[in-house]
Amino acid sequence: DAGVTQSPTHLIKTRGQQVTLRCSPKSGHDTVSWYQQALGQGPQFIFQYYEEEERQRGNFPDRFSGHQFPNYSSELNVNALLLGDSALYLCASSGTPTEAFFGQGTRLTVV
């Protein structure tokens, strides 16, 4: 049974570009959350998707947007990339309110 899978694992983008990160949740999980983990920091909550709707959002600008598909997979989009967007982006999936599983993350470098 596959866990949470994220793609790509690494990517490099230029400032001002747009990026799309992808997440496939653990089998049976219907909720996907996205986090940003800057170097030396703990993960910061970006937003959560459930039933294809954004259910909660953290303190991130509108440049960060997302989507959830009928198969529960999810995308994170970031527009107008800034150098400060360089981070590890984590996806977590859950099927109940009491447990979540994290993927390995996507390392985004903005140059």
Burial 47-80 (b: 16+ CB within 10 A, else e): bbbeeeeeeeeeebeeebbbebeeebbbbbebee
Biggest CA pair distance of the chain: 39
Between residues 52 and 99, which has the closer beta carbon with respect to other proteins?
99
Out of 9, 27, 41, 109, name the contact with other proteins by CB under 8 A.
41
Choose one: 16-24, 37-45, 68-76, 79-87; the region binding other proteins (CB under 8 A): 37-45
The binding track of 66-95 with respect to other proteins, each residue x by CB under 8 A or -, is: ------------------------x-x-x-
Residue 52 binds other proteins (CB under 8 A):
no
Between residues 58 and 67, which has the closer beta carbon with respect to other proteins?
58
Cα 84 versus chain centre, distance = 16
